[in-house]
Amino acid sequence: MMRKSRRTPRRPAAALAASLAALALAATACGGSGGDAGGDGGPVTLTYWSWLKGQKEAVELFNRTHKDVQVRFEEIPAGANGGYDKISNAVKAGNAPDVATVEYAMLPAFVTQGVLKDLPSAGASTVKGRYPASVGELVTFGGRTWAMPRDIGTMVYFYRRDLFDKHGLAVPRTWDDYKAAAEKVKKADSKARLGSFLTDDPVLLAGLSWQAGARWFGTQGDSWKVAIDSPESRKVADYWQGLVDKDLVKAQSATDPLTQSMQKDEVLSVISGAWNAGVLKTLVPGQSGKWAVAPLPSWDGKPASAGYGGAGAALTKGTAKADKATAFITWLNNSADGIRAQLSSGTSSALPASPDLVPVAAKTFDTAFYGGQDIYKVAGDALGTMPTGWAWGPAMAATNTELKTGINAFTSGSAKLADALAAAQGKTVAELKGRGLSVTS
């Protein structure tokens, strides 16, 4: 975290420029971790840290098929569970890996803190040419590209086909349809509900706001623009406020309570990212063949999705092997062999952020749980309907903490859900100003 400045608030471009200057200085002053080509002409050695499934298998394949570069892989805790602290501390200590996994929502913070190094031109060109604009925008800011996208959690609608048939429900195409179906389910079964509002996951609220056209962060002139408490976000909040107030959905945690409700046939559908297809197989294995996937309901019935999770591979500050590291992450996240190796277990439903690789991923996933449905077709189509213009902010930890507090107040009945947006807006603006950044809202 940047220290609070008593000087004139810095502009977003100036803040990024300062980070870039520091990164450039570090790159020329010191080498990255791992050995470069030795005096004996041996291969360049890169180090790679990640917590994602399939990375060890992918690295092993890369090492077998590449002789000039070898990669040492280390599994670390998930980012929010200590992984990000480990990466940040390693950069400060001068012993960081060359490459690390970073989720899209964390990238702006890591860039402004000077943790990462921007990709060379070859990597930037790959991102521009191989990914949809809605994905490229998540890793490109300040005029630089900061990661090679791996997957994107396009939001889709998971539902129990058998229970929909039982209650005579059609898959909702609009949010009005969703509300009508929720009323029908409650009337037919007092214990069951169509879905849930997750009380411990503010990223879901962000994704639904994104789908509705909100743009929580951006720049305006010389300032960061923060628009969490926007009309689009309030529209989403008021909608879910109404569903919860009328007891049409369950307000519950995304962990055990939701799983137990699904196991008891008391939750008929789930709004989530494409990655959840593999998770459901683990949580409710006895319901194999009963689930299906559909596009996310939208406000006007036209296809519209959004991002709910996803990560890329980034270069850390100080690596002296940016070109080799970029070649590795391009192979890792932008080749059929790399994606196939990462998903070789057959249990992950991660959706490649590059549309060209979606068919490759589809062949690795056993669709029996979904009655043979091509779930990657649904998720892949959703990728093309994600609105452009979304950006994460440089203080998402503070933003999400405030949103969680507000959501808890909402579910306890002491506040409105829209109040959480207003509180998060205020907290985020104060946090950015405290870091010496100019902010408008």
Tell me the pLDDT tens digit for each residue of 231-265.
Answer: 999 999 999 999 999 999 999 999 899 999 999 99
* The pLDDT of residue 40: 60
Confidence check: pLDDT of 8 > 50: no
Q: Which residues contact 387 (CB under 8 A, 6 or more apart)?
A: 134, 210, 211, 213, 304, 306
Q: Which residues contact 199 (CB under 8 A, 6 or more apart)?
A: 251, 252, 253, 407, 408, 411
Structure confidence by residue, pLDDT tens digits, 140-175: 988 899 999 999 999 999 999 999 999 999 999 999
User: Can you tell me the mean pLDDT for 99-125?
Assistant: 97
| Predicted TM-score of the model (pTM) | 0.91
Structure confidence by residue, pLDDT tens digits, 175-205: 999 999 999 999 999 999 999 999 999 999 9
Structure confidence by residue, pLDDT tens digits, 417-437: 999 999 999 999 999 999 998
- Tokens 């789930």, residue? 270
- Asked if residue 304 lies in contact with residue 106, where contact means CB atoms within 8 angstroms, the answer is no
User: Do the two domains 12-152+310-363 and 155-307+390-440 of this chain adopt the same fold?
Assistant: yes
Query: How is the chain split into domains, by residue range?
Result: 12-152+310-363, 155-307+390-440
* The pLDDT of residue 15: 47
For the ranges 93-97, 238-242, 377-381, 435-439, the lowest mean pLDDT is seen at: 435-439
* The pLDDT of residue 440: 82
User: Can you tell me the mean pLDDT for 60-75?
Assistant: 98
The CATH code that applies to domain 155-307+390-440 is 3.40.190.10
* Fold adopted by 12-152+310-363: D-Maltodextrin-Binding Protein; domain 2 (3.40.190)
Task: Give me the long-range contacts of 320-323 (CB less than 8 A, separation at least 24).
Answer: 320/27, 320/30, 320/31, 320/32, 320/36, 321/32, 321/34, 321/36, 321/44, 321/46, 321/98, 322/27, 322/117, 322/119, 322/120, 323/120, 323/122
User: Can you tell me the mean pLDDT for 62-86?
Assistant: 97
